């Protein structure tokens, strides 16, 4: 089930490398673009593939729950990324990998409750 997030994960790394590594766009801004792009991309994957079957919650409740959980987790992800990559100067791609993995469990279990 967790393998469905790999395309978005790889897309996010590529996009961040493209924006910050090649086009030298601001570290903080490029990661915001990455987070928004990957969140949109992953919504369709997890909604259709990961959380299949009969839905207990209404579509509006699922969308609102998804938006709330993802918004809160993305603020946390961006804050950690900004601290480790921006303030402490660690490699931005390695920070992205570790921050994504750290928040993965949190998002999965909360979304599992909302998107059913």
CA dihedral (89, 11, 25, 29) positive or negative: negative
The pLDDT, as a whole number, for residue 84 is 98
Q: Which burial class, exposed, middle or buried, applies to 52 when counting CB atoms under 10 A from its CB (0-12, 13-18, 19+)?
A: exposed
Instruction: Give the chain's domain count.
Output: 1
Q: 47 lies in which domain range?
A: 2-114
pTM recorded for the entire structure = 0.83
Q: pLDDT tens digits for 48-107?
A: 675 666 677 777 887 788 888 889 999 999 999 999 999 999 999 999 999 999 998 888
The pLDDT, as a whole number, for residue 51 is 62
Q: Which residue has the tokens 């909360």?
A: 110
Q: pLDDT tens digits for 3-24?
A: 777 889 999 999 999 999 999 9
C-beta separation of 39 from 31 below 8 A: no
Whether 1 has a pLDDT exceeding 60, the answer reads: no
């Amino acid at each position: 089930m967790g393998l469905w997030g790999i395309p978005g994960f790889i897309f996010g790394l590529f996009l961040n490398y493209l924006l910050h590594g090649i086009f030298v766009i601001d570290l903080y801004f490029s990661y915001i673009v990455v987070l928004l792009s990957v969140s949109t991309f992953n919504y369709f994957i997890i909604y259709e593939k990961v959380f299949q079957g009969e839905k207990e919650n209404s579509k509006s409740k699922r969308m609102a729950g998804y938006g709330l959980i993802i918004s809160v987790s993305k603020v946390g992800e961006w804050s950690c990324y900004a601290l480790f990559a921006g303030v402490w100067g660690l490699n931005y791609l390695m920070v992205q990998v570790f921050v994504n993995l750290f928040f993965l469990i949190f998002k999965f279990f909360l979304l599992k409750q909302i998107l059913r």
